[in-house]
Amino acid sequence: NAGVMQNPRHLVRRRGQEARLRCSPMKGHSHVYWYRQLPEEGLKFMVYLQKENIIDESGMPKERFSAEFPKEGPSILRIQQVVRGDSAAYFCASSPQPGAPYGYTFGSGTRLTVV
Amino acid sequence: EDKVVQSPLSLVVHEGDTVTLNCSYEVTNFRSLLWYKQEKKAPTFLFMLTSSGIEKKSGRLSSILDKKELFSILNITATQTGDSAVYLCAVRYGGSQGNLIFGKGTKLSVKP
């Protein structure tokens, strides 16, 4: 079991470019959560998805950010027209069901740097 | 506003010391409290607590929840250099089944 796989591990983008972050959940997990971690800050919830559905996107910025979790393939977090303030570590977590008693399993994160 | 506050923000101890990390919370419809350990990679799950007064234990780590006073503590006894990490506290609350609110973490450094 490979765990939650995120790629790329590091991503550098120039201002105005698009960033696409990928997350493959653990085998058997159909619930995916994206979190953002700014330097010296805690993890902030962004979006919760189930296969083909967005369940809760209350933490997503209203513009430039979108997420999907298609029937086949990884979950994608997409950031359009990146700005310096988007520089952060983006973590994905998965679970077989909401409220899993052993918590979520996190990936190693994608560190986005906007130059 | 829902929030989770951890203290201290950082802590330096020597091997063999015992440490206590604190987590207080204010959320609507509390469901559970979770502790994670984060080294320079993915946060790894330590404990999930839902009931007051029941200690969860794993080796040298233990944790307990007080739902009346709205806090939890994480104890680490006989600390080792490998315990150096950021310890994150998170609370799952009503409204969204999937949402966790995290504290900023406590950065623990254990010196040899």
Residue B43's closest chain A neighbor by CA? A106
Neighbour tally for B54: CB within 10 Å: 10
Q: Helix (H, G, I), strand (E, B), or coil: what is residue A89?
A: strand
| Residue B96 pLDDT | 59
Residue B103's closest chain A neighbor by CA? A42
If pLDDT is split at 50, 70 and 90, which confidence band does A1 have?
low
| Residue B74 pLDDT | 98
Higher pLDDT among residues A20 and A98, named by residue:
A20
Cβ neighbours of residue B87 closer than 8 Å, sequence gap 6 or more: B6, B21, B35, B36, B37, B38, B46, B74, B105, B106, B108
- Most confident stretch, A39-53, A91-105, B3-17, B82-96: B3-17
- DSSP H helical ranges for chain B: none
Mean pLDDT lowest for which of A24-38, A92-106, B33-47, B73-87?
A: A92-106
Residue B28 scores a pLDDT above 90: no
Chain A contact set for B36 (CB, 8 A): 103, 106
Sheet with A19-24, strands from edge to edge, namely A5-7, A19-24, A75-79, A65-68
C-beta atoms of A98 and B102 within 8 A: no
Interface residue ranges in chain A relative to chain B, Cβ cutoff 8 Å: 3-4, 31, 33, 35, 40-45, 48, 55-56, 58-59, 91, 95, 98-99, 101-109
Residue A42's closest chain B neighbor by CA? B104
| Residues composing chain A | 115
Q: Averaged over A94-108, what is the pLDDT?
A: 81
| Residue B42 pLDDT | 87
Is B30 an 8 Å CB contact of chain A? no
Do A79 and A65 touch, CB atoms closer than 8 A? yes
